[in-house]
Amino acid sequence: KAGVTQTPRYLIKTRGQQVTLSCSPISGHRSVSWYQQTPGQGLQFLFEYFSETQRNKGNFPGRFSGRQFSNSRSEMNVSTLELGDSALYLCASSLGGTIYNEQFFGPGTRLTVL
Amino acid sequence: SQQGEEDPQALSIQEGENATMNCSYKTSINNLQWYRQNSGRGLVHLILIRSNEREKHSGRLRVTLDTSKKSSSLLITASRAADTASYFCATDAEDTGRRALTFGSGTRLQVQP
């Protein structure tokens, strides 16, 4: 089985712009979660989607949003980028939900905001 | 401090030695997971231990869970240079009425060849 893929792998944006990141889960996995990783805050949960519905959301401002398609692929969008949004964004998929199952992570998208 | 705090923050050992990392958490949990991350890459799941389990093994890995102390430990035996990575514990912590996977700050393990 192919692993979790994320595109793009690297991205450079400027403040005020918006960005869309994409994640393709492992075939058959219906749950997709997103995380932000920074040196200062560590790994923080953004949101989880299951069967096209947002099941859970972390403590991030409304500028961070996401969606999941019928084929379980997911996108996350960050609008009005700020310098502090520079981070490694990780996507993970699992068969069931994030808290009860092993998660399979993608390689991440490294976003740099200038 | 965060749910799931690892201790120590950094650990340097020689190949062949054992490495022990600890994780403490605050709220009740249903399970606890350990993940490994190689420098700036995605995480790899190592082991999941449920709240009614006390110990679990997987190859050279041994995880213990003490729910009365709200702590877990990860032991890597006979370490190898390839074990050099950051290790994170993650719990299904309850936050504002919902449970979400919450990661600790991690332990950076360096195994010297």
3-class DSSP string for A32-54: EEEEEEECCCEEEEEEEEECCEE
Tokens of B63: 């995880």
A74 lies within 8 A of chain B by CB: no
Chain A residue nearest residue B6, CA to CA: A42
Spatial separation of the C-alpha atoms in residues B103 and B62, rounded to whole Å: 19
A10 lies within 8 A of chain B by CB: no
**Per the omega criterion (within 30 degrees of 0), is the bond before B8 cis?**
yes
Most B-contacting residue of A43, A45, A59, A86 (CB-CB within 10 A), to test interface: A43
Q: What is the DSSP string of B77-97?
A: -S--GGG-EEEEEEEEEEETT
Please report the pLDDT score of residue B98 as a whole number: 66
- What's the pLDDT tens digit per position in A19-54? 999 999 999 999 999 999 999 889 999 999 999 999
- Partnered with residue A65 across adjacent β-strands are A77
Please report the pLDDT score of residue A109 as a whole number: 97
Tokens of A38: 């920074």
User: Which comes out higher in pLDDT, residue A100 or B18?
Assistant: B18
| Cα B83 off chain centre by | 13
B98 lies within 8 A of chain A by CB: yes
- Asked whether the beta carbons of residue B92 and residue A33 sit closer than 8 angstroms, the reply is no
- State mean pLDDT over B100-107: 88
Please report the pLDDT score of residue B28 as a whole number: 85
Tokens of A61: 């401002």
- pLDDT surpassing 60 at residue A110: yes
Mean pLDDT of chain A, nearest integer: 93
Q: What is the DSSP string of A82-102?
A: -GGG-EEEEEEEESS-TTTS-
With beta carbons less than 8 A apart as the criterion, state whether B33 and B48 touch.
yes
- pLDDT surpassing 60 at residue A90: yes
- State mean pLDDT over B80-106: 85
Please report the pLDDT score of residue A67 as a whole number: 97
The fraction of chain A above a pLDDT of 70, given in percent, is: 96
- pLDDT surpassing 70 at residue B87: yes
Please report the pLDDT score of residue B2 as a whole number: 42
- Partnered with residue B112 across adjacent β-strands are B14
User: Which comes out higher in pLDDT, residue A61 or B7?
Assistant: A61
User: Which comes out higher in pLDDT, residue B43 or B7?
Assistant: B43
In angstroms, how far is the first alpha carbon of chain B from the final one? 34
- pLDDT surpassing 60 at residue B1: no
- pLDDT surpassing 90 at residue A77: yes
- What's the pLDDT tens digit per position in B14-71? 999 999 999 999 888 888 999 999 987 889 999 999 999 999 999 999 999 999 999 9
10 Å CB burial of residue A86 (0-12, 13-18, 19+) is: middle
